[in-house]
Amino acid sequence: MQTTLIILKPDAVQRGVMGEIITRFERKGLQIVGCKMMRISQDLAATHYEAHKSKPFYDGLVRFMTSSPVLVMAIRGVGVIEISRKMMGATFGSKAEPGTIRGDFGVSNSYNLIHGSDSPEAAARELELFFGKDEVTEFSRSIDGWVYDLSSGAPE
């Protein structure tokens, strides 16, 4: 099992599509183990996006991410990082395939609705930035036997 960070960005919050996006993750069988609405501070945005600091879009990205509340989620599942990135679609809404979150809800190349960690290392770092020690909950679900083949004793 992996856990990843998902952020529903200010445009997803302002457009009222949070519920539809959350539903996609739940219908896929992924488990939401942490969730909170927050306003990202300048310092947190700068830390989160520090890898992009030298890029021309950095200032606009920080300004956008601090402009309105976001919904941050910790989502768990087998292969959740790869699965959630496929569900999100291409970075630019104008290029994202229909059926993906960005393909179905986005057209902008700047406002792209959602962030998801791109590796286990990034997920660990990002989850620590956005969630305190007791804000990600460990719990078993009775549906896991219907989401994953557990016949070998471990989720496929």
What confidence tens digit (pLDDT) does each residue in 76-127 have? Answer: 999 999 999 999 999 999 999 999 999 999 998 889 999 999 999 999 999 9
Are 62 and 12 within 8 A, CB to CB? no
pLDDT at 154: 78
Distance separating alpha carbons of residues 129 and 136, to the nearest angstrom: 12
Task: Answer whether residue 153 shows pLDDT above 80.
Answer: no
Distance separating alpha carbons of residues 32 and 132, to the nearest angstrom: 16
pLDDT at 129: 97
Between 52 and 5, the more confident residue is 5
Are 25 and 6 within 8 A, CB to CB? yes
Task: Answer whether residue 156 shows pLDDT above 80.
Answer: no
The residues annotated as belonging to the active site are 115
Task: Answer whether residue 151 shows pLDDT above 90.
Answer: no
pLDDT, the chain, mean? 95
Fold of 2-133: Alpha-Beta Plaits (3.30.70)
Q: Which two tokens stand for residue 94?
A: 């104008």
Per-domain residue ranges for the chain? Answer: 2-133
- Of the candidates 23, 2, 20, 24, the residue with the CA atom closest to the CA atom of residue 12: 20
Are 156 and 78 within 8 A, CB to CB? yes
- Of the candidates 82, 91, 88, 97, the residue with the CA atom closest to the CA atom of residue 109: 91
Q: Which two tokens stand for residue 92?
A: 């630019």
pLDDT at 24: 98
